[in-house]
Structures are given as structure tokens and as C-alpha cells.
Amino acid sequence: MPDLESRREWRLTGVVFFGLLALAILWATVMIIWPFISAIIVGAILVTVTFPLYRRVRTRLRGSDTWAAIAMLLGITLVLILPAVILGLLLIQQANSLLPHLKSVETQQMMERLDLAHRLLWVQRFVPSFDPSTLSAQKLILPVVQKIPGWVAANGGAVIGGLAGVVVGFFLVLLSAFFFYVEGEAILDELAVLSPLPERYDREFASKFKDVIDATFRGQVMTSLAQGIATTVGLAIAGVPASIFWGAVATIMSLLPMLGVAIVWVPATIYLFMTGSTGHGIFLAIWGVLVVSTIDNIVRPWAMKGGAQLPAIPLLFAVLGGMQAFGFIGLVIGPLVFSLLMSIIDIYKQSFRIRRGGSGKVNA
């Protein structure tokens, strides 16, 4: 008996030691990959969305995982990079033509006719300490425009460094995607082996993950298109030149949460006020705030509702809260967490809930 109890004690000690060692290694692993977690998650999202196409490409390439993954990454790079380069060149061209125009004598006279001091006299009725005579379009705008070349020269290194960081991040995303293309199916099989849950629940979690990824991608695309179309309509009604081009810019900018479509319609509103089109400027400002900026909260939950299997209001909170907590990738993590929570509740109801009989007694 003492020998048996001793063996049990050492067996328990071994289990505890193994558990602590596993937790320590998992913690160290998370700390190592944490700086790259965004690239890994984005790579996983790309693979999840495009995996059916990858399978067809792999079949055409006689089952070669490596060459199929390389072909997919080349296609993704062309789809993402080529429009960005074209758009960047067009924006540079627009900026090069705009700066000399802003510095011209005609523009200075136009800003004098704007007469902000006279137009803002009504503010003094409500704020007596406000002095509109201190405001001048020339003093507010021209110094900023004149400083742009100097700012570019002084911060050129930082701009180049930021671009280099974007390139490195995109390269890490491609590496992650390549790994998940080649090893994704093996990883899923290994996770199914390691999971202590019944097989049907493993399939449910995997299906939920894919549905949320697909719904998030669909929601982002639909939201970007809706905001781009709404911006184009507003610019066209307000009479802004090249409204279709700037609407396309707004469509792409809506993919960047830190910038968004406001980077298009706000400068356009300022341009309208500078050119004396006050009525059109007021319209575009109201349109941008009430239509363009709020359409995100309407279209995204509607587009994602079916795949995420969440009601519209909880889905909206999941998207907004996820982005607040995790940044851009929270767009996926928020709805995914809420959907997995619903799955856990369903599993509990199916497997562990306590049913009450008609007599009031509790039956397991």
C-alpha cells in the first residue's frame, strides 16, 4: 500500500509539473509571436476566404501544394498592390497639380472673397469673447500649403520608414498565408485530434469560424462599396470635380479604419467653402456626417447578419467593440468571439443543462 500511494503521489506530481511546463511554454510562445499576431490573423483570414479557389488551383497544378500557394499569393499581390500603386500615382498627380493652383494669385483673391470674418459674425452673438476678425482664410490655409514641401523634406525618412514597415508587414502576411495554404488542412486535423470535445462540436466550431470570416469579408466589401457610392453621389450633387475618381478613392480608404472616407469628403467640403460654394459645402458636410459616416453602422451588420448568426444590434456592438479592443483585426475577432459564445451556450444547453419535470423535481 505505501508503494502504491507513493506511485500515485508521484504520478500526480508529474501531471502537475507537466501542466505547469506546458503553460510556461505556451506563454513563451504567445510572447514570441505576439508582435506578428496581426500578420498571422490577416494571413489566416485571406486563406479562409480564398481556400476554395486554392483547391481548384491545386487541382489544376496536379496536386502541388507549394506551387498552388505561390500562384495564389501572386494573384493576391496583384489584386491588392496594383490598384494601390495606380491610385497612389493618381493622387500624386492630383497633388502636384493642386499645390501650384493653391499658391496662385487667383486662389489668394478667392480666399479674400470668402471673407470668413464677415461670415462668422453671428457666432459673436452667442460667444461675446469670439473675435471673427482674427480669422483669415489666407492666414489659416496658405501657411499650411507653403509648409508642405518643407514638411515632406524634413519627414521624408519617417515616411519612407513607414512605407518600409507596410512592405514588411505585407510580406509577413504573405508568409503566414503561404504556411496556412500548405499546412492548413494538416493543422485542422491535428487540432481535431488534440481537442477533448466530441467531433460534432469540433465541426461546429470550425464551421462557425469559417462563417464569421466569410461574413466579415462580405460585410467589409459591401460597406466599402456602399460608402464609396454614397460619397460619389454626394460629391456629384455638390459639383466637386472628378467625383467618380474621388468616390473610388473613398471606397479604398474605407478599408482603413484610422482614415476612412472622411479623408475624401472633408477636404472636398473645405474646397467648396474656399471656392465660395457655401450652399454646396453645407450640403456635403451634412451628407458626409449623416449619410456617408453612418452607412457603415447599417450596411455592415446587415451584410454580416446571415454568416455570423447574430442579431443586428449585438453584431454592431461586436464589430465596434472588437475594433476598439484589438484594432483593425477586431473587425473579425469581435463577431468571432460573440459567435463562439453562442456556440458554447448551445453546447451547454445540449449536453449539460438540467431539465425540470412537470412535478417540479429536478432531473439530470
CA–CA distance, 353 with 203 (Å, rounded to integer): 21
Domain final position from 194, 213, 245: 194
Residues 242 and 105 in one domain: no
Residues 41 and 171 in one domain: yes
CA–CA distance, 231 with 48 (Å, rounded to integer): 31
Residues 223 and 96 in one domain: no
Supply the angle between the helices 105-114 and 65-103 in degrees, to the nearest 10.
80
Note whether residue 282 is domain-resident: yes
Note whether residue 333 is domain-resident: yes
Predicted pLDDT at 308 = 56
Average pLDDT for 52-59? 93
Residues 296 and 252 in one domain: yes
**Between 269 and 125, where is the model more confident?**
269
| 361 pLDDT more than 50 | no
Predicted pLDDT at 181 = 94
Residues 212 and 79 in one domain: no
Residues 187 and 203 in one domain: no
Question: What is the pTM assigned to this prediction?
Answer: 0.68
| 248 pLDDT more than 90 | no
Res. 116 pLDDT band, cuts 50 70 90: low
* Average pLDDT of every residue of the chain: 77
Domains in the chain: how many in total?
2
- Assign 3-class secondary structure to 273-328: HHCCCHHHHHHHHHHHHHHHCCCHHHHHHHHHHHHHCCCHHHHHHHHHHHHHHHHH
Domain final position from 138, 172, 194: 194
Res. 237 pLDDT band, cuts 50 70 90: very high
Note whether residue 360 is domain-resident: no
Between strands 362-363 and 355-356, the pairing is antiparallel
Cell readout for 135 is 480669422
Predicted pLDDT at 24 = 93
Domain final position from 194, 209, 239: 194
Predicted pLDDT at 359 = 45
- Is residue 254 within 8 Å of residue 228, measured between CB atoms? yes
Note whether residue 8 is domain-resident: no
Residues 189 and 295 in one domain: no
Residues 224 and 314 in one domain: yes
Residues 54 and 167 in one domain: yes
Note whether residue 241 is domain-resident: yes
Residues 290 and 327 in one domain: yes
Average pLDDT for 78-101? 69
Note whether residue 148 is domain-resident: no
Predicted pLDDT at 343 = 76
- Assign 3-class secondary structure to the chain: CHHHHHHHHHHHHHHHHHHHHHHHHHHHHHHHHHHHHHHHHHHHHHHHHHHHHHHHHHHHCCCCHHHHHHHHHHHHHHHHHHHHHHHHHHHHHHHHHHHHHHHCHHHHHHHHHHCHHHHCCCHHHHCCCCCHHHCCHHHHHHHHHHHHHHHHHHCHHHHHHHHHHHHHHHHHHHHHHHHHHHHHHHHHHHHHHHCCCCHHHHHHHHHHHHHHHHHHHHHHHHHHHHHHHHHHHHHHHHCCCCHHHHHHHHHHHCCCCCCCCHHHHHHHHHHHHHCCCHHHHHHHHHHHHHHHCCCHHHHHHHHHHHHHCCCHHHHHHHHHHHHHHHHHHHHHHHHHHHHHHHHHHHHHHHHCCCEECCCCCEEC
Cell readout for 132 is 471673427
Predicted pLDDT at 81 = 79
Q: Which residue has the cell 493653391?
A: 102
CA–CA distance, 330 with 81 (Å, rounded to integer): 23
Note whether residue 75 is domain-resident: yes
Cα of first residue to Cα of last residue in the chain, in angstroms, is 37
Total length of the chain: 364
Give the angle subtended at the CA of 294 by the CAs of 218 and 81, to the nearest 5°. 45
Residues 312 and 257 in one domain: yes
Q: Which domain holds residue 40?
A: 35-121+159-194
Residues 190 and 240 in one domain: no
